Amino acid sequence: MPTSEQVLKQLNQQGIKNINEIHFNLGTAALYEHAIRRREGSLSHLGPLVVRTGSHTGRSPNDKFITKEPTSDHNVWWGKVNTPMEEAKFEKIYAKMLAYIQGKDLYIQDCYAGADSKYKLPIRIITEKAWHSIFARNIFRQYKDQSELEASSPEFTVIDMPGFHADPEMDGTHSEVFVILNFGKKLVLIGGTHYAGEIKKSIFTTLNYFNPLEKVMSMHCSANVGKEGDVAILFGLSGTGKTTLSADPSRRLIGDDEHGWSDNGVFNYEGGCYAKVINLSKQAEPEIYETTRKFGTILENVAMDNESRRLDLDDDTLTENTRAAYPLTHIDNIVPEGMAGHPKNIIMLTADAFGVLPPISKLTNEQAMYHFISGYTAKVAGTEAGVTEPKATFSTCFGAPFMVLHPTVYAELLGEKIIKHNVKCWLVNTGWTGGAYGVGKRMSIKYTRAMLNAALTGKLDNVETYVDPFFNLIVPKTCEGVPAEVLNPRNTWADKNKYDETAKKLANMFIENFAQFADSTKGKIISSGPNKF
């Protein structure tokens, strides 16, 4: 392990000086002691550390900036997602943060992101909170070999100071919260928020910038591998079942959220999971449930009885976004090395609350790129004020807030790899059937698992299909364990005219959303989308 003098010298080179005490790469047990002594969290029944994040119980996407500097300016897809900050403003905030740090205790974790040794990114997480240091240990990959740690040198640094708040008028931020990435300096500054997810996603955003430039596909997805070594990737936005469906007892979990795809295969960026736990039950999610009963798990904003120290996972008083951060080793049936071969199947999940998309469809290569760029799902009525019918959500590449390059860069890279490795692609609707939300019902998880297993095992490769007249999707007519009428969504609706009307409406939404990519997308991809009505 580097000596205190070596670490101090490295910090001084970054302008971090006059530190009270440095706590470098402390283990989880020691960090527990610090966090409890400093009243940052409370010990719960069976050992998890329960913490509160204050007013910020989720990410602050409107407070994220990318520094506009010469090395990256020409690559970044500037716009609503990637908001520029001038270098001078970055330097000003950085100087103020360095002044804030003086005299404080610092917790430092040296770890890395990326299980593929050729593409791993050594990172240093510097924070004023002991529990944020545990979070970093849980989420990122740890050096197992002492000599490897000693030989490592951080290439990217995250400085996380929740107690330091920006002055929007003086600093050019949108609020007192800020997350600023500087690819030239290989530095991230986070302030004004205790929500630890900002640390995780800042590194994911960083990998989404650097990896594709090396022809490594960066993906917001889960991944698992079967007994025959067949890898499956599952893309999907929140609420589509990505975590649930990837946790298959017959397949080993590579990871549940962020991955790269190199010439060596699929690899997990992380060493842990950051799962939503609201309404978590032992029956529905037994493995994730058990992590809420293990030492080392960080529980954000989860309700706890102060006397018995027992948890109430159904209590959303503080937020619906209650979270558990735990190392992958808390789960059985994993791929400990975090890496497997090239995928045989890619699954794109959507929860269509309009109830008109087929429950499973085979995608051509061009359709796969179209739906990857679209990143569609639909929120149900009532999830937002004033929403009385399903609301379409398009998040490009199934992770728009973290994509730094133009979406077509990721789509074309994905397309190249699909062709090179002869990957089968599927669109799976885990949403509604028999009508839109409020009329129909949610697709049976039993049927979804049956369809997914049939796709992964090749049982759908040679069945008879039909082409959906609205979305141009190739739909199987039969699937073992699934009633035939379920496979054709129109057959599940009592009002066929209403189905046609709703399907046309959603098809046009796809087309309207994709128009923004028309000038930068090849014509064959555009023509692979739904029909216009």
**What is the tens place of the pLDDT at every residue in 134-171?**
999 999 999 988 888 877 889 999 999 999 999 999 99
Q: According to the model, what pLDDT value does residue 379 have?
A: 74
Cα–Cα dist 366/374, whole Å: 12
Question: 382: pLDDT confidence band, cut at 50, 70 and 90?
Answer: very low
Amino acid identity, residue 353?
A
Residues 377 and 475 grouped into a single domain: yes
In 3-state terms, what secondary structure has residue 341? coil
Residues 255 and 317 grouped into a single domain: no
Residues 361 and 429 grouped into a single domain: yes
* Residue 274 near residue 200, CB atoms below 8 Å: yes
**Residues assigned a catalytic role:** 59, 201, 220, 238, 242-243, 257, 323
Widest CA span of the chain, in angstroms?
A: 74
Residues 231 and 317 grouped into a single domain: no
Judged on CB neighbours under 10 Å (0-12, 13-18, 19+), 258 is: buried
Residues 80 and 117 grouped into a single domain: yes
Q: Which one is predicted more confidently, 144 or 17? A: 17
Cα–Cα dist 254/219, whole Å: 13
Residues 293 and 366 grouped into a single domain: no
Amino acid identity, residue 251?
R
Q: What percent of the chain has pLDDT over 90?
A: 86
Q: According to the model, what pLDDT value does residue 523 have?
A: 76
Residue 336 falls inside a structural domain: no
Q: According to the model, what pLDDT value does residue 383 have?
A: 42
Give the closest residue to 360 by CA, choosing from 449, 476, 471: 476
Residues 205 and 223 grouped into a single domain: no
In 3-state terms, what secondary structure has residue 74? coil
Residues 101 and 169 grouped into a single domain: yes
Does residue 378 have a pLDDT over 50? yes
How many Å is the Cα radius of gyration of the chain? 23
At 134, list the tokens.
């545990």
Residues 81 and 95 grouped into a single domain: yes
Angle at 245 between CA 327 and CA 364, to 5 degrees: 120
Q: According to the model, what pLDDT value does residue 384 have?
A: 43
**Chain center to CA of 169:** 32
* Residue 85 near residue 92, CB atoms below 8 Å: no
At 246, list the tokens.
């990837």
Q: According to the model, what pLDDT value does residue 285 have?
A: 84
Query: Measured between alpha carbons, how far apart are the two ends of the chain, in Å?
Result: 64
Phi, psi of 414 (to 5 degrees): -65, -45
Judged on CB neighbours under 10 Å (0-12, 13-18, 19+), 307 is: exposed
Residue 335 falls inside a structural domain: no
Which range of residues forms the domain containing residue 295? 273-330
Domain count, the chain: 3
Judged on CB neighbours under 10 Å (0-12, 13-18, 19+), 297 is: buried
Q: Are strands 311-312 and 376-379 parallel, antiparallel or unpaired?
A: unpaired
Does residue 2 have a pLDDT over 90? no
Residue 198 falls inside a structural domain: yes
**Chain center to CA of 26:** 27
Question: What CATH number corresponds to the domain at position 384?
Answer: 3.90.228.20
Q: According to the model, what pLDDT value does residue 508 have?
A: 97
What is the total residue count of the chain? 533
Question: 247: pLDDT confidence band, cut at 50, 70 and 90?
Answer: confident
Residue 499 falls inside a structural domain: yes
Question: What CATH number corresponds to the domain at position 36?
Answer: 3.40.449.10
Q: What predicted TM-score, i.e. pTM, was given to this entire model? A: 0.94
Cα–Cα dist 456/275, whole Å: 25
DSSP annotation of 412 reads H
Which residue among 175, 191, 213 closes a domain? Answer: 213
Cα–Cα dist 67/50, whole Å: 34
pLDDT tens track for 84-140: 999 999 999 999 999 999 999 999 999 999 999 999 999 999 999 999 999 999 999
Residues 368 and 491 grouped into a single domain: yes
Cα–Cα dist 24/130, whole Å: 11
Residue 366 falls inside a structural domain: yes
Cα–Cα dist 380/392, whole Å: 9
């796969």: which residue's tokens? 368
Which residue among 330, 355, 372 closes a domain? Answer: 330
Residue 351 falls inside a structural domain: yes
- Determine which of 3-12, 321-330, 394-403, 416-425 has the lowest per-residue pLDDT on average: 3-12
At 70, list the tokens.
């010469």
Amino acid identity, residue 523?
G
Cα–Cα dist 466/460, whole Å: 13
Residues 20 and 167 grouped into a single domain: yes
Residue 50 falls inside a structural domain: no
Cα–Cα dist 451/445, whole Å: 10
Instruction: Break the chain down into helix, strand, coil percent, rounded to 5.
Output: 30, 25, 45
- 182: region left, alpha or beta (phi > 0 left; psi from -120 to 50 alpha): beta
Q: According to the model, what pLDDT value does residue 1 have?
A: 57
When pLDDT is averaged across residues 196-207 and rounded to a whole number, the result is 97
């409020």: which residue's tokens? 438
Strand partners, 429: 350
Residues 194 and 106 grouped into a single domain: yes
Strand partners, 113: 121
Cα–Cα dist 178/286, whole Å: 36
DSSP annotation of 215 reads T
Question: What CATH number corresponds to the domain at position 292?
Answer: 2.170.8.10
In DSSP notation, 39-70 reads TSEEE-TTSPEEE--TT--S--GGGEEEEE-T
Residue 51 falls inside a structural domain: no
In 3-state terms, what secondary structure has residue 181? strand
Give the closest residue to 312 by CA, choosing from 44, 129, 128, 43: 44
At 179, list the tokens.
């997350």
* Residue 144 near residue 111, CB atoms below 8 Å: no
